[in-house]
Amino acid sequence: MKIILNGREEVLEEGMTVAGLVALKGVNPDAVIVEYNYSLVKKEDWAGITLKENDRLEILRFVGGG
Amino acid sequence: MEDTFKIGGRELTSRLFLGTGKFSSNRLIPEAVRASGAQVVTVALRRIDLEYEEENIAAYVPKDCILMPNTSGARNAQEAVRIARLARAAGCGNWVKIEVITDNRYLLPDNYETIKATEILAAEGFVVLPYMSPDLMVAKKLAEAGAAAVMPLGAPIGSNRGLRTKELVRILIDEIPLPIIVDAGLGRPSEAAEAMEMGAAAVLVNTAIATAGDPVAMARAFGLAVKAGRLAYLAGPGETQEYARASSPLTGFLRD
């Protein structure tokens, strides 16, 4: 299954959830924001979202800026 | 009496807004915030780097500060709106600095797209502070669109070149009934003081502080300069004269 993660194609196993992907990438779940198909999803909903072919996912964080 | 000003219904005592980019260590940020006295602190939103884990910048901003995300990276109004909505949904509050830029050399803002984004976000209840090139007609349209303040640039972002747009900023201060916050380009505390002496409501500084030899000391210096400039504005400077005018009496000299 292919999805677009942070603008790049990513191949994932079927049945992968948002929570599973965040864990797979070794990302601290408390420090990131996830946008799923252009909508922000809360952390408590990550485990309930199973990714599908061609989904678009953005994992974002706040950084220093002026 | 304390000299305060209001943006989006919030009463502020500090007229120095602080950006958090370019610090050599995030650990300097809370120290710089405290030293500067800033109450409004800006951050940006970016994709994570999946190669290595990075720190959460928000954890370094004191909790009593207003966290103001910017929309840097947005190339049009639509992208700016998307970033603002994401930041708010992520718990960042409803303040947002609109930054729409497609010019990569000078990083000058696209005033037209900025007006569009301001209109949309103000209607959604955001406290919108648009970064803009100092143009009177644009500032009027931003005010009509619902901006809570306008943020004209002093010089290109990160250039530390000072208040190059002084005469145009002065026009905005005279004509726009909103707080004018000089944002970008201020490199030295004296330049921040000058903006405040002119009647700017506040200034936003990042690079000049973050890249100083001692960022925390420079943050303090900017904080003091902003206070000095504001006090001078309130005090009302005397008029300038073309020729010398003696300060001491011109009579009663000790001579024959």
Q: How far is B131 from chain A (nearest CA, A)?
A: 11
In a domain, B174, yes or no: yes
Query: Domain with A30 in it: what CATH number?
Result: 3.10.20.30
Evaluate whether residue B184 is within a structural domain.
Answer: yes
Q: Which amino acid, one-letter code, is at B245?
A: R
In this model, does residue B55 exceed pLDDT 80? no
Domain contains A38: yes
**Residue A19 dihedral angles phi and psi, to the nearest 5°:** -60, -40
B116 is catalytic: no
B54 pLDDT higher than 80: no
Is B211 part of a structural domain of the chain? yes
Which domain does B66 fall in, by range?
A: 5-234
On whether residue A66 sits in a domain, the answer given is no
Residue A34: domain span: 2-61
**Does B56 score more than 90 pLDDT?**
no
CATH classification at residue B167:
3.20.20.70
For residue B35, pLDDT beyond 70: yes
Residues of chain A with pLDDT under 70: none
Is the full-model pTM beyond 0.95? no
Percent of chain B at pLDDT > 70 equals: 98
Nearest-Cα distance to chain B for A39, in Å, is 8
Q: CA–CA separation, B4 vs A21, rounded Å?
A: 47
Cβ-count burial A37-57 (b if 16+ within 10 Å, e if not): eeebbeeeebeebebeeebeb
Supply A28's token pair.
């601290």
Give A-chain residues touching B206 at CB under 8 angstroms.
Answer: 65-66
Res B192 pLDDT > 80: yes
- List, in order, residues 6 or more apart from B137 with CB less than 8 Å away: none
* Residue contact B43–A64, C-beta within 8 A: yes
